[in-house]
Structure 1
Amino acid sequence: MQFDRPRQGAVLAGLALRAGRPVRQDELVRTVWGQEPPPSATGNLHTYISELRKILGEPQVLHTDRDGYRLDVRVEDVDALEFDSWVDRAAHAWSGGAVETCFDAVDRATELWTGAPLPEIAGPVADAERRRLEDRWLALRKLRVQALLTTSQVAEAVAECTSLTHAYPLDERVAVLHSTSLYRAGQVAEALGKLDTFRRRLREETGTQPGAEADELYEQMLTGDVDTVSTATSPSTSDGRSATPDSSPRAVRPAQLPHRPWGFVGREHETAELSHPADLPIVITGHAGIGKSALACQVAHELAPRFPDGQLYLSLGGSERTSVPPMSELLDHQLLNLGVHTDDLPGTVEQKAARWRSLLTARRVLVVLDDAADAEQVARLLPEGTTSAAIVTSRSRLSTLDKVRRVPLPALEPDAAKRLLIGGCGTPLDVPLSDPRVARIVEVCGYVPLAVRAAAVLLAEADTVRQFTLRLRNHENFLELLSPGDNDSESSVLAGLEHTTRTLSAPALALLTRLSSRIGEEEHIAGLPREHEPVALAELVESCLLDHLGGDRYRVPALVRRYGRLLTRAGTR
């Protein structure tokens, strides 16, 4: 595809490298013009987008998405992304000793390589992506040499290394592979001479000396230690540990799931349904304390045996925006967990995310994304394809995420809430489930697991059930009573609701307090100025503070309603 303007191609490249995911306008501007764009950048971007829509034609695949744009194509339609996927599959097959599968993946990746990537595309991100893809191409070719040596295709290995040495004369790993290939072909003098030439050239052009690998190989060839030289390029090392090629991830099988939640009760329907995963990511949503993380962890443990390449757990810090980890730092940590060497970590966030998704595509991994802040954060981390799966939890509905399976989580059933109250503090309480005051306590708690657990701890400390029930009934702010001393957003329903309502607009907060003052469980929304009603309603539903029951019927969850009344009494409007 030819472009009249180089920067127009950079816009398309920036969108294509995030295939199917929204790209903010300011990100696209930085992609094309760098960190200091000219004043005309935004206007030019709009022009490029308009022209790209005409070039791409119908059906339209370039869409406006919130404050940015989305190119709605598959990974398979973007050569750079598909190339990444096959490189990772090749490395994974190699690390597992599946040499033939590795060869097949190498061939598929090689078919996609048609020369310098992103030709005639300008911009800093395109430059960085070119360097990254070329590094991966070199790693793939080194891997092919190792696979050739493992299968005794020595002549082909020598030919491949001759080409590599010409293109990368100062790469130590290439020099080592070349000398190893020559040695295996019986050309001992040539093998030693190649390492001598590499050592001299490295010293003259860079002022450095070869590393330990080159020195060790040289000594092995001098002493005729054939076994050591031959096994240096096999899929496994002499002690049986899995070995991987340079720049390729090691065979790491992470097991990061937290322990199963103690005292887990109820949720039989949800657990049974979610333990048979579909191809789509699971997104569990609900307000603070409703039990999203506990259900996700329980289901993840049920599913874990189906994902033999490991389970990853990422706490995304959405319940407290100030604790949201930087995406670059989070991705670096997880890429290391998947076996990527520190020296091979990609440079930009988009490159890291692409590598992350590519690695997951090549493996069967279960990913739990707990406490997501927003849809954009999650979109970067969701695995693609059907080999890996994801479970997401959030206090937001994440409505802008496409192709996910949403599970809005309701309160517990009354019987399950009573069982949780009796056993929720670790040691079962000597209180019969049939005691009517038990039913009253869990009703006051709104059947919300976090509130019920807090009540269980307080009930264990009380002299009698009657004493605690009276205290709960007479306390001016029972939500405050049910909050622990540290009162953080993850362990306190009150703190969680306070955090969520702080993010609301004034009309949405006013609507919440207004609805909370009503007595009924289900409400017909009326009497609000029409220009504000749809926006405020949508905001409350998105924040999981209002359940949409269909049509013009809505319900404020029990504890949210009681919190809203506290706001009304405090004078919040």
Structure 2
Amino acid sequence: MLGRVRFADREIGGARPRTLLAALLLDTNRMVTVDRLVDALWDEEPPASATANVRTHIWTLRRLIGDTATLVSHPGGYELVVPEDICDLHLFTRSTDSGRAALAGGEPERATKLLDRALGMWSTDRAAADVPRHGWVAARLTHLDEERRRTVEDFAESCLRLGEPRAALRGLAALLAVDPLRTRSWALRMRAHHLLGERGGVSETVREATEAFREYLGSPLDGELVRLHEEICRGRS
């Protein structure tokens, strides 16, 4: 799920079988109704044969997944039973939750390892990158993308607390390139350059952030970033 949709390193041919698998993986070990699967598979009005098509795709998936997991038929829906320790989505969630708890508990070294492990599970920066986003699946995948971005920021925060500002900068540039209005990312980048003693890096961060807020929002720089920059200039942060 954390990149292209695959199962036990097997490629899933066809956009609709991949979308069906993604929908089942988002709700592993729970029944997903046929109506929700139809909503995930067709952005437009579904054809009269939609339910029959779902059954055909389910048959295809059963052949592909083999004994690695169990695809259970229920009245009105299907359930993909998968051990959580082989599902990257569950492993990512477990690592991020533990990493954030360690960060909140004042254990930056442990947090850094857990969050780095979580980010290493992604093969691209977009969940289910080869799946069309329709219906409820689109919202769930967008949320998962945001969780990855938050994890990049959490990792940077843990690195700063550990006294490793170079490592903190890892990933922030790519994140800001696709989401240039993330106040927290700009603040983390500014703090990292400050800890490195790179006054030019701090100034460049402020300049780029100011341009982004002006271009995308038509507004001045976020007040939180203005205050942080003032504190850095006064040597208080």
Give the TM-score, by structure 1 length. Answer: 0.37
Structure 2 residue corresponding to 1:67, chosen from 63, 72, 76: 76
- SS of corresponding position for 2:13: coil
Is residue 119 of structure 1 aligned with residue 137 of structure 2?
Answer: no
Distance in 1 (alpha carbons) for counterparts of 2:137 and 2:227: 39
Q: CA offsets per residue over residues 434-461 of structure 1, 9 Å max, x none?
A: xxxxxxxxxxxxxxxxxxxxxxxxxxxx
Structure 2 residue corresponding to 1:181, chosen from 192, 199, 210: 192
Aligned-pair CA distance for 1:170: 3.1
Taking a change above 3 Å as real, the CA distance of residues 40 and 210 of structure 1, as seen in their structure-2 partners, is: farther
Taking a change above 3 Å as real, the CA distance of residues 58 and 168 of structure 1, as seen in their structure-2 partners, is: closer
Aligned-pair CA distance for 1:218: 1.6
Distance in 1 (alpha carbons) for counterparts of 2:22 and 2:11: 13
Aligned-pair CA distance for 1:35: 7.8
Aligned-pair CA distance for 1:180: 1.1
Distance in 2 (alpha carbons) for counterparts of 1:38 and 1:210: 49
* Matching residue of 1:205: 216
The CA RMSD over aligned residues, in Å, is 2.2
Q: CA offsets per residue over residues 498-538 of structure 1, 9 Å max, x none?
A: xxxxxxxxxxxxxxxxxxxxxxxxxxxxxxxxxxxxxxxxx
* Matching residue of 1:222: 233
Q: Within 5 Å, which residues of 2 pair with 1:254-273?
A: none
Aligned-pair CA distance for 1:111: 2.5
Q: CA offsets per residue over residues 212-234 of structure 1, 9 Å max, x none?
A: 21011121122222xxx2xxxxx
Structure 2 residue corresponding to 1:97, chosen from 100, 106, 112: 106
The code of the aligned residue for 1:222 comes to C
Distance in 1 (alpha carbons) for counterparts of 2:37 and 2:140: 14
Q: Within 5 Å, which residues of 2 pair with 1:455-470?
A: none
Q: Within 5 Å, which residues of 2 pair with 1:123-522?
A: 123-124=133-134, 125-225=136-236, 229=237
Distance in 1 (alpha carbons) for counterparts of 2:166 and 2:69: 50
Distance in 2 (alpha carbons) for counterparts of 1:176 and 1:59: 44
Structure 1 residue corresponding to 2:39, chosen from 25, 30, 33: 30
Taking a change above 3 Å as real, the CA distance of residues 164 and 15 of structure 1, as seen in their structure-2 partners, is: closer
Distance in 2 (alpha carbons) for counterparts of 1:135 and 1:23: 23
Taking a change above 3 Å as real, the CA distance of residues 6 and 199 of structure 1, as seen in their structure-2 partners, is: same
Which is helix-richer, 1 or 2?
A: 2
Distance in 1 (alpha carbons) for counterparts of 2:31 and 2:161: 43
Taking a change above 3 Å as real, the CA distance of residues 215 and 109 of structure 1, as seen in their structure-2 partners, is: same
The code of the aligned residue for 2:74 comes to D
- SS of corresponding position for 2:209: helix
Structure 2: state its 5+ residue gaps. Answer: 1-9
Distance in 1 (alpha carbons) for counterparts of 2:143 and 2:214: 26
Distance in 1 (alpha carbons) for counterparts of 2:169 and 2:15: 40
* Cα pair 2:156 2:170 within 8 Å, conserved: no
Distance in 2 (alpha carbons) for counterparts of 1:221 and 1:194: 13
* Matching residue of 1:539: none
Aligned-pair CA distance for 1:81: 2.6
* Cα pair 1:172 1:210 within 8 Å, conserved: no
- SS of corresponding position for 1:69: strand
Aligned-pair CA distance for 1:34: 4.5
Aligned-pair CA distance for 1:159: 4.5
Higher relative contact order (CA 8 A, sep 6+): 2
- SS of corresponding position for 2:73: strand
Give the TM-score, by structure 2 length. Answer: 0.85
Is residue 5 of structure 1 aligned with residue 14 of structure 2?
Answer: yes
* Matching residue of 1:535: none
* Matching residue of 2:4: none
* Cα pair 1:33 1:123 within 8 Å, conserved: no
* Matching residue of 2:87: 78
Structure 1: state its 5+ residue gaps. Answer: 230-573
List structure 1 runs of 4+ shifted beyond 6 angstroms: none
Aligned-pair CA distance for 1:201: 2.8
* Cα pair 1:188 1:221 within 8 Å, conserved: no
Q: CA offsets per residue over residues 511-570 of structure 1, 9 Å max, x none?
A: xxxxxxxxxxxxxxxxxxxxxxxxxxxxxxxxxxxxxxxxxxxxxxxxxxxxxxxxxxxx
- SS of corresponding position for 1:23: strand
